[in-house]
Amino acid sequence: MSELDLQHALKAARDAAQAAAEVLRYYWRQGVEVELKSDDTPVTVADREAELAIREILQKALPDASIYGEEFGRDEKDHELLWLVDPLDGTKSFVRRTPFFSTQVALMHRGELVLGVSSAPVYGETMWASAGGGCWYEGERVKVADTRELARASLSAGNIKSLTADARWNAWGALIRDSNRIRGYGDFCHYHLLARGSLDLVLESDVNILDIAALAVIVREAGGIFTDLDGQPLTLDSHSVLAGTPALHAVALARLQAALKG
């Protein structure tokens, strides 16, 4: 994509996230009924209406691009441009009146993630980034910390239930023991903290690409490294995350890989 096209798309993504924020704030105040999808995960009218608001703006901005959304699936248009949309990442938090939920909008061009917007309207944060354009938090450019030593590092983990049965579980425990502190911020929050230098390493399992695509661009453009737990770049089939400062990502990945080798 040209720089002009990328900035046009970024503006559309930010506008779409803002439109979704208005929907989410409305239902946050009013309250919603909860339904269960076929995979036993919750969904509400807020999820659906927020995605419709996002789709309307993105379709006008890039009418030939495909959109892959959490609630309405994927349409087949331009195979080079694909919007990745989670209108309400953290529905369980939303319905339990916990402000750890967000809207995630990312754009993939020829298989590469090129922009991301992460909006947490009730928590009160928005971050965005585009390829080569840096990472921005409330209008200020931000970067990951320069933390290099595990003993000085702050770690955070999310969705780790499945990891407890993995060969890398003990390696993660050793990383925690050797670190300065451990937290479990989860969802968008620990990636925002990582991108602006307030956290140093994040590990997650049991995620999908719609949860993390925008956040991957944000962390990358802030100077961090964002891969799956095997150290591989994200794809539409990715289900785990290892993200951190360059030095600590390398340390953690080496330990996790060694654990797999026994």
Q: Which residue has the higher pLDDT, 237 or 40?
A: 237
pTM: 0.96
Distance from C-alpha of 61 to C-alpha of 170, rounded to nearest angstrom = 47
pLDDT of residue 1 exceeding 80, the answer is: no
What type of residue sits at position 251?
V
pLDDT at residue 76, rounded to an integer: 77
Residue 6: strand, helix, or coil: helix
pLDDT of residue 77 exceeding 80, the answer is: no
Q: What percent of the chain has pLDDT over 70?
A: 100
Output the CA–CA distances (angstroms, integers) from residue 109 to 7, 36, 44, 173, 235, in the order listed.
14, 33, 30, 37, 12
In the structure encoding, which two tokens stand for residue 135, read together?
């990472």
pLDDT of residue 65 exceeding 80, the answer is: yes
| Residue-wise DSSP of 152-192 | G-EEEEES-TGGGGSTTHHHHHHHHHHSSEEE---HHHHHH
| DSSP structure class, residue 97 | T
Distance from C-alpha of 10 to C-alpha of 149, rounded to nearest angstrom = 35
Q: Are strands 78-89 and 65-69 parallel, antiparallel or unpaired?
A: parallel
Instruction: Estimate to the nearest angstrom the gap between the alpha carbon of 18 and the chain centroid.
Output: 17
What type of residue sits at position 44?
T
pLDDT at residue 36, rounded to an integer: 86
Residue positions counted in the chain: 262
Q: Per-residue b/e over 47-82, b at no fewer than 16 CB within 10 Å?
A: bbbbbbbbbebbbebbeebbbbbbbeeeeeeeeebb
> What average pLDDT does range 248-262 have in this prediction?
95
The CATH T-level fold of domain 3-132 is Fructose-1,6-Bisphosphatase; Chain A, domain 1 (3.30.540)
Over the stretch 79-97, which tens digit does the pLDDT of each residue have? 789 999 999 999 999 999 9
Over the stretch 177-218, which tens digit does the pLDDT of each residue have? 999 999 999 899 999 999 999 999 999 999 999 999 999 999
CATH number for the domain running over 150-261: 3.40.190.80
**In this structure, are residues 72 and 56 in contact, taking their beta carbons and an 8 Å threshold?**
no
CATH 3.40.190.80 segments of the chain? 150-261
pLDDT of residue 176 exceeding 90, the answer is: yes
In the structure encoding, which two tokens stand for residue 62, read together?
């890039």
Cβ neighbour number for residue 129 with a 10 Å cutoff: 30
